[in-house]
Amino acid sequence: MELMTHSSTFLLPNPPADDGPALTYALVILNRRLPRFTPLLWKHAQLRMCADGGANRLYDELPQLFPEEEALAIRKRYKPDLIKGDMDSIREEVLQFYKNAGTEVVDASEDQDTTDLHKCVAYVKDLPKLKNQNLCILAAGALGGRFDHEVGNINVLCRFPSMRIILLSDNCLIQLLPCSHRHEMRILSDYEGPHCGLVPIGEPSKSTTTTGLQWNLTNAEMRFGGLISTSNIVKGEIVTVQSDTDLLWTISIKKAW
């Protein structure tokens, strides 16, 4: 079985060239308080998008991260490439501001069955210019607040299992570990951990094996209603995971670095 490696180098101001696969990042800003490291994610991303009301967050909250500078200057510097969604949350002044600045706007209000994050992921997936890239989507503001939205965001991971998508908040990240691969997480312990979790999603796991955790699993069963691995602790720099089902991997993000 092929190995997939993971490293949260998007949290580093200057990521080393040799740590993990070369990835092309696309940033999706959601309608939830922006993580404090959003400017760093922005810098790493080649494509920057707002999911509907996420544009309000960019407009309102990004200037607050640069209190010394003029809000207008920050808004002009952090102009998204695209705003997509059903457009029921973006404010008119925000829409007009970014339209005038040249942002592409895709109104998908006819689709009331998929979330705005889903719509953004579908857009990136089909972009010809990113076709042969090793793409990783960073979804900022995906956790905390409304539980229906959080679950909807997790469901997007499950609807696009072959894509690398990372849900981010100030406090933690979540990603899918597809069972088609075995996984190696290179832990950046100055930036993330030690708290972590492994949770079967969609169906119970009959056999999961890990290394590098305080409470490792060895051909262990996991299911909701039985054992799932929460409040686990990362030990050391590498965690490995192999499972017969897709799992969610979550790890805490440190408060300050």
Ligand X SMILES: Cc1ncc(C[n+]2csc(CCO)c2C)c(N)n1
Residues lying near ligand ATP in the complex (CB under 6 A): 30-32, 51-54, 85-86, 88-89, 115-117, 142-143, 145-146, 149-150, 152-153
First to last CA, the chain: 36
* Helix segments in 64-182, DSSP class H: 71-77, 92-100, 116-125, 147-159
**Does residue 151 belong to the site contacting ligand X (CB under 6 A)?**
no
SS3 content of the chain, % helix, strand, coil (to 5): 25, 35, 40
Strands 82-85 and 104-107: parallel
Kindly identify the residues of this chain, within the stretch 47-86, that bind ligand X according to CB under 6 A: 86
Q: State which of positions 81-100 bind ligand X (CB under 6 A).
A: 86
Which residue minimizes CB distance to ligand ATP?
Answer: 145
The residue range among 76-84, 94-102, 113-121, 157-165 that interacts with ligand X, by the rule CB under 6 A, is 113-121
The rounded distance, in Å, linking the Cα atoms of 12 and 28 is: 18
Q: Select 120 or 234, whichever has its Cβ closest to ligand X.
A: 120
Contact 247, 217 (CB under 8 A): no
* Min CB(219)–ligand ATP separation in Å: 35
Please report whether residue 31 would count as binding ligand X according to CB under 6 A. no
Does position 112 interact with ligand X (CB under 6 A)? The reply is: yes
Nearest to 113 by CA among 152, 70, 165: 152
> Which tokens in the block code for residue 53?
């009301």
Q: Which residue has the tokens 């979330």?
A: 115
- Could you give the CA distance from residue 130 to residue 220 in angstroms, rounded to a whole number? 38
Contact of residue 32 among ligand X, ligand ATP, none (CB under 5-8 Å per partner type): ligand ATP
Shortest distance, position 183 Cβ to ligand ATP, whole Å: 25
Q: How far apart are the C-alpha atoms of 245 and 26, rounded to whole Å?
A: 27
- To ligand ATP, the closest distance from the beta carbon of 89 in angstroms equals 3
| Shortest spacing between CB 112 and ligand X, in angstroms | 4
The yes or no reply on residue 184 touching ligand X (CB under 6 A) is no
Q: Which does 51 bind (CB under 5 to 8 A by kind): ligand X, ligand ATP, none?
A: ligand ATP
Least spacing, CB of residue 151 vs ligand X, in Å: 11
Tell how strand 220-222 and strand 82-85 pair up.
Answer: unpaired
Site for ligand X in 116-145 (CB under 6 A): 116
The region that residue 132 occupies, defined by phi over 0 for left and psi between -120 and 50 for alpha, beta otherwise, is: alpha
Question: For tokens 């051909």, what's the residue?
Answer: 219
Binding region for ligand X (CB under 6 A) out of 17-25, 75-83, 94-102, 109-117 = 109-117
Contact set with ligand X (CB under 6 A) = 86, 112-116
